Chains A and B, each alone.
Chain A
Amino acid sequence: MAELPEIFRVMAYVGGIMAFVGLNAAFLVWMERKVAGHIQRRIGPKEVGPFGILQSLADGIKLMSKQLVVPAKADPILYRVAPALTMITAVMVFVVIPFGPALVARDINIGLLLIFAIASVNVLALLIGGWGSNNKYSVISATRAVSQNVAYEVPMLITVVTMVMIVGSMNLNEIVGQQGNLLQWYIFPWNGSILLPVAFVIFFICSLAETNRAPFDLGEAESELVAGFHTEYGGMGFGLFFLGEYGHVFVGCALASILFLGGWQCPFGWMPGVHWMMIKTYLLIFVVMWIRWTYPRTTLYGLLNLSWKVMVPFSLAVLLVTAAMLKVF
């Protein structure tokens, strides 16, 4: 693609990623309902298309055909900006995600930093969506989402700093490149620090909390807050929040597989490529869904205690042990 003008690369990226985020969300909704169904010994969606796979497309068409209603006392600008903002952040972080050795929109050397810089804007979208709706449930939910995101950003970034210390680079393709086979994956304790498995667990739990997934979905606790920050949204406003959430889930799992599980590298050295990245990411997404349908929602205090009393000390311990080991060996 190097000989083509730059604009083609941008267009291919925008078109491809928008399509991917949409289809990925449709697929994940279907997958979520199937996983939920089978965990509860039901079938799940079955009627629309083979195995009900077109169900979420049908739902999407229904959402798109609905009228966008702005509540009378809502802030008209913030109310409309919030869903777009959550979608924009979800699409933008895909810029640096390496799907394959050459399949990355922008192979920049601070990719990891860029992802966290943009993904943390997502919480702002939840905040202004909740605030702009002028609904008490939405405001409570928005404050919860903010406190939760602030709490979990800290241990997550500390583990990421640990990874950057070991790898010596923030370029995601370089991080993947160093994990050529199964034994070189950074989830294993012999690759730099004995606490790497702990780092993986911390990163995974934090990415669950960052994307507001169960059991940390306090932001949309149906039993207390109706639907949280998207209570007042209908039609595609709600649809964009949903697309954004699934986009962020994908990014979180893709990042976990890039940092710890070798990204697009094959564990046995055969044919590295997009398919390995997809297999690893969707396996992690399956684990996310599996967790969602296993555990009840935590309380807000339980959530914050878990972060400040467990996650932060453990991630600091991982950081210190890693620094010591890198210095000594």
Chain B
Amino acid sequence: MSGYFKEIFDGGKSLLVGLGITFKQMIQPVVTERYPRTAPKMPPRYRGHIDLVRDEEGNNKCIACGMCQRNCPTGCITIKGEKPEGAKKKVLTFYRLDFTTCSLCGICVESCPTDALEFSKEYNLAGYSAGDFVFDLLKRCEERRR
């Protein structure tokens, strides 16, 4: 008989504890984001497609050595560089990333001798044709400068 009352008492107590937990959760701030209204801030190690790093003056740090192009397992990077008259170093003139074949392995970022590449925080990629995912990174870099 005492077990009967104990069960009811313990059960009732655990029910009240449960109500307390949900009430505490209810008065705490919400954790969801209103996605189309507010853009989420991506975590620092998020891997979007690669992008050129800009130095203090806003120029890219690429020396057009071609390491990324050679190391890319799927061959999705095409770069061109030239040495202007009288200059000592090569200058990047063209950097194309074909994101349709990129697997985001990050070998290009690792192999870059001047740390000129980084993962962007771009998550909002949607397009109507494969051509929408071929990016001209040099142009993107110039656009961000403006």
Interfacial residues, chain A to chain B (CB-CB below 8 A) = 35, 37-43, 46, 290-291, 293-295, 310
Contacts and interface: CB of A to CB of B under 8 A. Distances in A.
B23 interface: yes
B39 interface: no
Nearest to B19: A294
Nearest to A287: B19
Contact of A43 (B19, B22, B32): B32
B18 A39 contact: no
B130 interface: no
Interface in B3-28: 8, 15, 18-19, 21-23, 25-28
B26 A39 contact: yes
Interface of B: 8, 15, 18-19, 21-23, 25-32, 34
Nearest to B12: A201
A39 B25 contact: yes
Given A39-B25, A41-B25, A310-B8, A294 B30 contact: no
Contacts of B15: 295
B26 A38 contact: yes
A91 B1 CA distance: 44
B22 A294 contact: yes
A144 B137 CA distance: 65
By secondary structure, the B interface counts as helix
A295 B34 CA distance: 28
A286 B28 CA distance: 17
Contacts of A293: 22
Nearest to B31: A41
Contact of B30 (A35, A38, A310): A38
Most chain A beta-carbon neighbours within 10 Å: one of B15, B22, B23: B22
Given A39-B25, A41-B25, A310-B8, A295 B18 contact: yes
B32 A291 contact: no
A307 B31 CA distance: 39
19 contacts: A35-B26, A37-B30, A38-B25, A38-B26, A38-B30, A39-B25, A40-B25, A41-B29, A43-B30, A43-B34, A46-B34, A290-B19, A290-B22, A290-B23, A291-B19, A293-B22, A294-B22, A295-B15, A310-B8
Given A38-B26, A41-B28, 10 more contacts: A37-B30, A38-B25, A41-B30, A42-B31, A43-B30, A43-B34, A46-B34, A290-B19, A293-B22, A294-B18
Nearest to B23: A290
B40 to A, nearest CB: 15
A35 B27 CA distance: 10
A42 B32 contact: yes
Nearest to A201: B12
B57 to A, nearest CB: 44
A221 to B, nearest CB: 20
A38 B30 CA distance: 7
A39 B8 CA distance: 26
A39 B22 contact: yes
B18 A41 contact: no
A315 to B, nearest CB: 14
A2 to B, nearest CB: 46
Contacts of A295: 15, 18
Nearest to A295: B18
A40 B25 CA distance: 7
